[in-house]
Copies of this chain bind each other. A is one copy, B any other.
């Protein structure tokens, strides 16, 4: 970081945007194994929030890996930088007044902690989407577990790379034991309490 940048004071602040929107801005950070249901839950929650007039946005592999982070690989370094940049974008979006729903495996506790610090702890809601590995592997929606088992994908979380579950997530759902609707209801209640 250079000293070639000087802070301007922007006239329009997050607070003013929150007032215009009629709601606070937050990052709802879904973490869990591939196939645990992060994207499905994020999508369902976004539909609910949008209908209620919340300004929302989903960050996930679809819109981040294809653009901003298209230069990164799936090595450990690439995945750490991937999560860092997502945290920074989420931070900008919170500043812009949005409720950001992010759906990334984000397996490492220290990376999630870093995002929490970037975004600000008050704006960060961690959602642990739990589901046993064997169930995720049975689902294998994207066929990635099969590829990982065949050695075609390296550093795949749950196979040859660890997942560090959050110790104290703000919201815990288990997509194996609960229905989508049960998880969603629980999410909505918890998220609303923190808004």
Contacts and interface: CB of A to CB of B under 8 A. Distances in A.
Nearest to A56: B12
The quantity of this chain's copies bound in the complex is 2
Contacts of A180: none
A70 interface: yes
A63 B92 contact: yes
A55 B20 contact: yes
Interface in A47-63: 47, 50, 53, 55-63
Interface string A97-111: 110000000000000
A43 B63 CA distance: 28
A167 interface: no
Contacts of A39: 8
A89 interface: yes
Q: How large is the interface on A (under 10, 10 to 19, 20 to 34, 35 or more residues)?
A: 35 or more
A34 to B, nearest CB: 9
Contacts of A177: none
Contacts of A66: 1, 5
Nearest to A2: B74
5 contacts: A5-B61, A7-B62, A11-B47, A55-B55, A63-B95
Interface of A: 1-2, 4-8, 10-12, 16-17, 20-21, 39, 43, 46-47, 50, 53, 55-68, 70, 73-74, 85, 88-89, 91-93, 95-98, 118, 141-142, 144, 153
